[in-house]
């Protein structure tokens, strides 16, 4: 700081000398005269500046000292608070250790006083926990709600159960045993598909099944719900018979020995349309071709059977008619006239050969599709296995549901192909048999006509 002041004084002195020298030089005629500073004035200005700087520096030093003292006071306060908190923590740790020792002592004293009762009440709490788990999913709880709340309190208590709680546990167990052998009817709230609850008359057969309006119910989350998909009509019919039972004789009913697990599986069991959809596009293509071939084969079988009947009727009448193959063959014989047997045989063979394509037309289509359907099923099997192996490659074998779609395609396309092929094979056999039977009648009648003509010529 002193060096700065000395430099300032020197600079000002130099400035003063420069001003003095400048003042001694002749001024320009046009410039006005400027006042000149003496050395005393410069010295006074320097001393004044030094005094102001010293006062400012002293004020700054005093401010720094005050701030330092305030920070030291705050640091001392914080250190005192830390020391107090550490002391309090030490005191609380000691108190916690003392309390824990007292708790251990009291627990040991309680165990000594309880003696054999501790094992008894432990068994009671275990029985209450097991019974609670049983009641949570039991259909009997739909008729007697709220029992699991008291049992849960007994199972979770850390003190000795009271006599009232033990009696409640015993009575609940006896009630659960007794209700398992009863067919009961009661009124309860049943959850609907839209989320609302409606009061329904319920019929319950022990803990096995419950139904309302011949529709089976499940007990889930403390509430009765209708199965998303009901069993077959034969099963629901038995449920309706139990509901309408008036006490005379007995009726046949259905129970679920798995306490609802088998009924719940009905929801996951695919119906016919879902099974067909599992076959994918190949399955639908096979069904489409099979349907067309079956309708065409059925049509041919019916028409061939009618034609065979018309041919038999024509054989009995004797007067030829153009409406049936035998009549057209007989007309061909009449058109030939009384020629040689060889000419007549050739004419009849020609007429029969013209009838055979009409009788057998379209039967090859049924035969081809009956052979193609299993091949399409095999194609679907290969596609399904490809999908399965792709899923295994991407996701591994940890989750079987990932592979389910490919396996479903593989199996259902095979089933669809066989189901389509078997009826078509039988239908083709029947239709072909009807056609061959008609052709055989035509050949027999033609042979008879030739034989009669030959006898007449003799």
Domain parsing of the chain, residue ranges: 183-269, 278-457
The C-alpha angle with vertex 321 and arms to 318 and 323, in degrees rounded to 5, equals: 135
Angstrom distance (rounded) from CA 78 to CA 343: 137
Cβ–Cβ under 8 Å, residues 413 and 279 = yes
The three-state secondary structure class of 183 is: strand
**Highest mean pLDDT, choosing among 41-45, 167-171, 402-406:** 167-171
Q: What does residue 203 show for φ and ψ, rounded to 5 degrees?
A: -115, 125
Residue with tokens 């305030």: 70
Angstrom distance (rounded) from CA 374 to CA 418: 6
What predicted TM-score, i.e. pTM, was given to this entire model?
Answer: 0.52
pLDDT level of residue 451 (50, 70, 90 thresholds): confident
The C-alpha angle with vertex 181 and arms to 178 and 184, in degrees rounded to 5, equals: 95
What are the tens digits of pLDDT across the range 243-279? 888 877 788 888 888 887 788 777 777 777 777 887 8
Angstrom distance (rounded) from CA 309 to CA 319: 16
Q: Which of 215, 209, 256 is nearest to 236 (CA)?
A: 215
pLDDT level of residue 8 (50, 70, 90 thresholds): very low
Task: Flag whether pLDDT at 292 surpasses 90.
Answer: yes
Cβ–Cβ under 8 Å, residues 122 and 167 = no
Q: Which range is least confidently modeled, 71-80, 186-195, 282-291, 363-372?
A: 186-195
Residue 400 has a pLDDT of 66
Task: Flag whether pLDDT at 14 surpasses 90.
Answer: no
Q: Which range is least confidently modeled, 126-135, 255-264, 361-370?
A: 255-264
Q: Which of 359, 355, 297 is nearest to 329 (CA)?
A: 355
Angstrom distance (rounded) from CA 355 to CA 310: 14
């Amino acid at each position: 700081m002193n060096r700065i002041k000395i430099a300032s004084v020197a600079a000002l002195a130099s400035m003063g000398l420069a001003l003095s020298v400048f003042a001694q030089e002749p001024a320009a005629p046009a410039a006005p005269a400027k006042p000149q500073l003496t050395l005393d004035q410069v010295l006074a200005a320097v001393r004044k500046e030094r005094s102001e700087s010293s006062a400012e520096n002293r004020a700054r030093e005093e401010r720094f000292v005050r701030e330092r003292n305030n920070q030291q006071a705050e640091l001392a306060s914080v250190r005192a608070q830390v020391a107090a908190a550490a002391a309090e923590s030490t005191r609380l740790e000691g108190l916690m250790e003392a309390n824990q020792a007292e708790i251990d002592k009291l627990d040991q004293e309680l165990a000594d006083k309880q003696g054999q009762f501790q094992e008894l009440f432990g068994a009671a709490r275990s029985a209450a926990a097991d019974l609670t788990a049983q009641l949570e999913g039991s259909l009997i709880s739909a008729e007697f709600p709220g029992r699991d709340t008291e049992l849960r309190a007994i199972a979770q208590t850390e003190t000795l159960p009271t006599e009232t709680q033990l009696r409640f546990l015993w009575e609940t167990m006896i009630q659960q045993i007794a209700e398992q052998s009863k067919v009961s009817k009661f009124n309860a709230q049943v959850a609907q598909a839209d989320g609302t609850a409606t009061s329904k008359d319920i019929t319950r057969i022990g803990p096995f099944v419950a139904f309302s309006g011949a529709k089976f119910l499940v007990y889930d989350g403390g509430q009765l719900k209708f199965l998303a998909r009901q069993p077959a009509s034969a099963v629901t019919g038995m449920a309706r018979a139990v509901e309408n039972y008036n006490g005379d004789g007995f009726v046949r009913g259905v129970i679920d020995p798995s306490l609802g697990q088998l009924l719940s599986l009905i929801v996951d069991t695919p119906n016919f349309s879902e099974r067909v959809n599992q076959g994918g596009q190949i399955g639908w293509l096979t069904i489409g071709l099979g349907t067309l071939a079956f309708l065409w084969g059925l049509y041919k079988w019916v028409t061939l059977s009618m034609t065979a009947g018309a041919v038999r009727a024509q054989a009995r009448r004797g007067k030829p008619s153009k409406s049936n193959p035998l009549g057209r063959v007989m007309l061909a014989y009449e058109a030939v006239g009384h020629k040689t047997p060889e000419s007549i045989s050739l004419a009849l063979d020609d007429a029969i050969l013209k009838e055979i394509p009409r009788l057998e037309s379209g039967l090859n289509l049924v035969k081809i599709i009956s052979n193609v359907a299993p091949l399409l099923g095999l194609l679907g099997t290969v596609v399904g296995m490809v999908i399965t192996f792709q899923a295994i490659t991407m996701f591994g074998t940890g989750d079987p549901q990932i592979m389910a779609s490919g396996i479903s395609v593989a199996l259902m396309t095979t089933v669809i192909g066989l189901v389509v092929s078997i009826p078509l094979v039988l239908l083709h056999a029947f239709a072909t048999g009807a056609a061959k039977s008609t052709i055989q009648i035509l050949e027999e009648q033609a042979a008879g006509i030739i034989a009669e003509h030959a006898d007449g010529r003799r």
